[in-house]
């Protein structure tokens, strides 16, 4: 059986401006803004929530399948996925589009100016859950709006449990939209900011949201995470990372741990701790897919962090 990961596949172009934006953006001239930044440092990363989650879950020994839409420029990414032994069965190429991509310029204060082009992601509803086989768990990660709505409905119709992970796509939905997602989902995963926004838009408290699903997971960065499940609030401590380099993709790594724990019937404490460990490993590396680990390494790191073995 497989875990189906619905979400984006994207290229991230990251540029570093060796100065401070505040030295070049004049507050009294914002209405006629016209600036250019010399960026001698640039790198291109493979990203997107679906691919980041699948990357981590695959290293854990899970069985991920991605469902995504990509553009005509997908070939370099396809070659990478092939080398990683990640199937492209449910990745559909859309003609005359680009794969989703983010262009991020960062200054020396770690301020960021980002432009995001959704491209083929806007056609995610062209994929159907009903075309899949041997799926026992799914996740809806940030994707095209219509695709997220369609896939939630199809997961429910197919009787496949899934995690609703709205992420940065949450502002696209009204309170009624979000309530509809929640009523269909089996699990919800958000960070603390998204959790606050979810409460404001639905007019439900975290405890009320938790009552509607098997588990509500709220991540809080360096402050760990809280899992609302079985009438309890389970506090998960963060794991001290080897270094703090780049938070990009940490949430996706955490979600891979959730998916693995759920499919292997782990208790919520263990599942959350595994997820927390994956996030700590990721943050010590740039980009969403440049860290590596083996199951043996995870087992040892888990033992060092929590005092017992996981595999």
Kindly report the CA angle at 250 between 69 and 196, in degrees rounded to 5?
A: 90
Whole-angstrom Cα distance, residue 144 to residue 306? Answer: 38
Phi, psi of 44 (to 5 degrees): -115, 125
Domain limits for position 276: 2-8+49-58+119-306
Residue 209 in any domain: the answer is yes
Of 120, 1, 110, nearest to 50 (Cα)? 120
pLDDT score at 296? 95
Residue 205 in any domain: the answer is yes
Residue 149 in any domain: the answer is yes
Going from the C-alpha of 164 to that of each of 17, 29, 244, the distances in angstroms are: 36, 42, 28
In the chain, % helix, strand, coil (3-state, to 5) comes to: 40, 25, 35
Of 190, 310, 186, nearest to 239 (Cα)? 310
What is the number of alpha carbons within 13 Å of residue 124 lying toward its C-beta? 29
Q: How many domains does the chain have?
A: 1
pLDDT score at 114? 86
Residue 29: pLDDT over 70? no
Mean residue pLDDT across the chain: 94
**112-117 and 100-106 as β-strands: parallel, antiparallel, unpaired?**
antiparallel
Instruction: Check residues 35 and 298 and name the one with the higher pLDDT.
Output: 298
Residue 156: which CATH number? Answer: 3.40.1190.20
- Helix (H) or strand (E) run with residue 139 in it: strand 135-140
Residue 32 in any domain: the answer is no
What residues have CB less than 8 Å from 181, skipping those under 6 apart? 140, 148, 149, 152, 164, 166, 173
Tens of pLDDT along 274-288? 999 999 999 999 899
**215-219 and 225-229 as β-strands: parallel, antiparallel, unpaired?**
antiparallel
The pair of structure tokens assigned to 239 is: 């794991």
Of 209, 155, 145, 214, nearest to 177 (Cα)? 145
Residue 224: pLDDT over 90? yes
Residue 41 in any domain: the answer is no
Residue 27: pLDDT over 80? no
Out of 106-110, 200-204, 295-299, pick the least confident: 106-110
Residue 28 in any domain: the answer is no
Confidence class for position 92, pLDDT limits 50, 70, 90: very high
Of 40, 53, 51, nearest to 14 (Cα)? 40
pLDDT score at 179? 98
Residue 217: pLDDT over 80? yes
Residue 264 in any domain: the answer is yes
Tens of pLDDT along 38-86? 989 899 999 999 999 999 999 999 999 999 999 999 999 999 999 999 9
Tell me the angle at which helices 49-60 and 295-306 cross, rounded to the nearest 10 degrees.
Answer: 90
Residue 198 in any domain: the answer is yes
């Amino acid at each position: 059986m497989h875990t189906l990961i619905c979400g984006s596949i994207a290229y991230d172009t990251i540029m570093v401006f060796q100065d401070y934006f505040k030295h070049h953006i004049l507050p009294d001239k914002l209405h006629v803004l016209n600036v250019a930044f010399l960026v001698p440092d640039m790198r291109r990363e493979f990203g997107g929530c679906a691919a980041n989650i699948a990357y981590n879950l695959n290293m854990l020994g899970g069985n991920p399948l991605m469902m995504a839409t990509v553009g005509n420029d997908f070939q370099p990414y396809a070659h990478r996925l092939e080398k990683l032994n990640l199937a492209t069965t449910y990745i559909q190429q859309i003609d005359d589009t680009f794969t989703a991509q983010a262009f991020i310029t960062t200054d020396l204060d770690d301020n960021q100016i980002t432009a995001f082009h959704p491209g083929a992601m806007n056609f995610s509803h062209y994929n159907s859950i009903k075309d899949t086989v041997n799926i026992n768990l799914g996740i809806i990660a940030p994707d095209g709006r219509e695709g997220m709505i369609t896939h939630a409905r199809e997961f429910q119709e197919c009787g496949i449990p899934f995690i609703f992970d709205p992420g940065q796509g949450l502002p696209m939905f009204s309170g009624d939209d979000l309530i509809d997602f929640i009523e269909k989902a089996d699990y919800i995963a958000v960070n603390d900011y998204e959790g606050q926004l979810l409460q404001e838009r639905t007019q439900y408290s975290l405890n009320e949201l938790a009552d509607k699903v098997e588990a509500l997971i709220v991540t809080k960065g360096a402050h760990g995470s809280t899992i609302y499940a079985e009438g309890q609030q389970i506090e998960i401590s963060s794991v001290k990372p080897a270094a703090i380099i780049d938070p990009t993709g940490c949430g996706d790594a955490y979600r891979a741990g959730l998916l693995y724990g759920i499919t292997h019937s782990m208790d919520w404490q263990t599942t959350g701790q595994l997820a927390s460990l994956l996030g700590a490993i990721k943050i010590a590396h740039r980009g969403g897919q440049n860290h590596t680990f083996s199951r043996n390494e995870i087992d040892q790191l888990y033992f060092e962090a929590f005092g017992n073995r996981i595999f």
